[in-house]
Amino acid sequence: MRELLADFAVTLRDIRYRRGGHEPSTGFDCSGFVRYVFKHSVGIVLPSDSASQFHIGATVDRTDMKTGDLVFFRIHGKRVSHVGIYLDHGRFIHSPSSGKTVSINRLDDGYWAKHFVGAKRPKVLS
């Protein structure tokens, strides 16, 4: 199931970012991308925003992350404001921001390491 989810997510690379976006034809924001991947690859409907997605599932230690776990970031202020899907070997896929497209980055890259909050494992992946 984890590999199916990750493989599907990777097929959506290069789709443009769009605030509030939740479909490949119009673009994705971060939570719309995560929600779309889970719904269309494993049939699970997640909450619609990153802060709500942060409150589901079990907390996962960074050293125990597995493919398909959700990774969260604080970009603006104190609340969780960004989410991606962990792939493997410190890499995650996400829809980053305006002017960019769905892409793969590393958790240890300076920007992402600075804003990393933690990881969660949705119950379907437990």
Contact 38, 53 (CB under 8 A): no
Asked if 89 is an active-site residue, the reply is no
Asked if 22 is an active-site residue, the reply is no
Asked if 30 is an active-site residue, the reply is yes
82 backbone φψ class: left, alpha, beta (φ>0; ψ -120 to 50): beta
Report d(CA 28, CA 54) in Å as an integer.
18
Nearest to 121 by CA among 74, 80, 86: 86
Active-site residue, from 22, 40, 55, 82: 82
74's tokens: 């604080």
Report d(CA 55, CA 51) in Å as an integer.
7
Active site positions, annotated? 30, 82, 94
